[in-house]
Structure 1
Amino acid sequence: MPSGLSGVVAIAAGNTHTLALRSDGTVVVWGYGVGQSATPAGLSVLLP
């Protein structure tokens, strides 16, 4: 998990990656293969 991650309201995980939805609407993503797919319109993604 990235250090300093706060304000998390939901978590989702796959086999090799994890996503955390923060209360401000941003999503933090970490794990293997992150950044290989397109981000849906209207969704902000922060990579640690």
Structure 2
Amino acid sequence: MKDEVQLFAGAGIVPGSVATHEWQELDKKMSTLLSLISDNPSLGVAS
């Protein structure tokens, strides 16, 4: 059995939302969560 951790984050899409900005926000949220459990929190999803 593999050790596994699942992390989830979401965004509220509203009128006027910009897809690129939403991805950047999710990347920041996930990087914060990953920084708590990893030495390499960068996802490289949003730039």
TM-score (norm 1): 0.26
Q: Which has the higher strand share?
A: 1
Larger radius of gyration: 2
Q: RCO higher in 1 or 2 (8 Å CA, sep ≥ 6)?
A: 2
Q: Which has the higher helix share?
A: 2
